[in-house]
Structure 1
Amino acid sequence: MPGIDECLLEAMRLPGARGAALVDWTSGLALGTVGEAPGGDHETTAAEAAELARMAAEHGAFTSGVGEEPGGPPPVEDLIVSNRDSYHLLRFVDTTFDSSVFLHLWLSREDGNLALARIRLGEMAARLVLG
C-alpha cells in the first residue's frame, strides 16, 4: 500500500507524465507534488484544480445522485480537461475520513496515453494510503 510520495512517483512513470499532485479539494492545498507544474507553481495549480474539482463534486449536474451519502465515496470518479498540448486528469480518492482529495496528473498530449493514465490513476487511488 503506497503512501503519497510513492503514489506520485508511480504516476510520474506513466508515459508522457509532466507532473502530479495530491490535492485536498476543500482547502486547495497540495499534500504532495512531483515533477513540473503548469505555469511553474504547484500551489497555484493545486488551488485552481481544487476549484474545478469542488464544482464537479458539489453540483448535482455532475454527480450520479445514486447511493450518495455524507462521508461516503466522492460523487465524481474523475475529471479530464484537455488543451492543445496536454491533458489534466483529476482522480478523486475514496478515503476513510472525508474523501476530499484527488490525484492530479498533468500529461503530455504528444507522448501520453489518456486511457492508460486513467486506468492506472484509478488503480493508484484505490491503493493509496493516507494518514
Structure 2
Amino acid sequence: MPGIEECLLKAMALPGARGAAVADCTSGLALGTIGDSPNDDHEASVAETAELARVAADQPTFAPAEDGDAAHGRSNPVEDVIVTTRSGYHLLRFVETTFDSSVFIHVWLDREEGNLALARIGLAGLAERLVLG
C-alpha cells in the first residue's frame, strides 16, 4: 500500500498531470506536494483547494447523508470534486479512512494532454490504497 510520496509519484504518472498534492481539508496544510502548482505556490494552492473541498463536503446539497455511509465507515459521502478551466482540470479526491479523516488528493491536469475520466479512475484507486501514518 503506497504512502504519501508513492501516491504523489503515481498521480504524476497520470496522462497530462502537471502537479499533485495530498492535503488536509480541515487545516488547509499540505501533507505532500509534487510537480508544478497552478499559481506557482504549493502552500497557497493547497489552502485554496482545501477551502473548496470543505465547502463541497459540508453542503447538504452536495453531500446529503446516506443511510449506508455511517455503517460503511464513510464520514463524507462526497467522492470527488472536479473543476475545469480553459487550460486544465483540477480533480480533488477524498480519502476514506477508519478515523474521521479530512484528507484529499488534488491532481492538476493539462487540458490538452489529460484524460479526466482516466484520471478520476486512477485517483480513486490511489485514494483507496493510500496509507496515512
| Paired position in structure 1 for 2:112 | 110
TM-score by length of 1: 0.95
Deviation at 1:95, TM superposition (A): 1.3
Asked if 1:72 is matched to 2:65, the reply is no
1:101 is matched with 103
Q: 1:121: which partner in 2?
A: 123
Pair 1:17-2:45 in alignment: no
Number of positions where the alignment pairs a residue of Structure 1 with one of Structure 2: 131
Partner Cα distance (1:37, 1:51) in 2: 16
Residue 57 of structure 1, CA deviation: 0.5
Task: Tell whether 2:53 aligns with 1:53.
Answer: yes
Task: Return the alpha-carbon distance in structure 2 between the equivalents of residues 110 and 56 of structure 1.
Answer: 27
Residue 25 of structure 1 and its aligned partner are, at CA, apart by: 0.3
Q: Mark the runs of 5 or more structure 2 residues left unpaired by the alignment.
A: none
List alignment gaps of at least 5 residues for structure 1: none
RMSD of Structure 2 on Structure 1 (CA): 1.4
| 8 A Cα contact 1:86 1:107, kept in partner | yes
Shift of 1:22: 0.3
What's the offset of the Cα at 1:124? 0.3
Contact 1:20 1:35 in 2 (8 A): yes
SS at match of 1:123: helix
The runs of 4+ residues in structure 1 deviating greater than 6 Å are: none
Give distance in 1, aligned partners of 2:75 and 2:58. 13
Counterpart contact for 1:72–1:99, Cα < 8 Å = no
Q: Is the 8 A contact 1:74 1:93 kept in 2?
A: no
Q: Distance in 1 between matches of 2:115 and 2:6?
A: 21
- Secondary structure of 2:39's counterpart equals helix
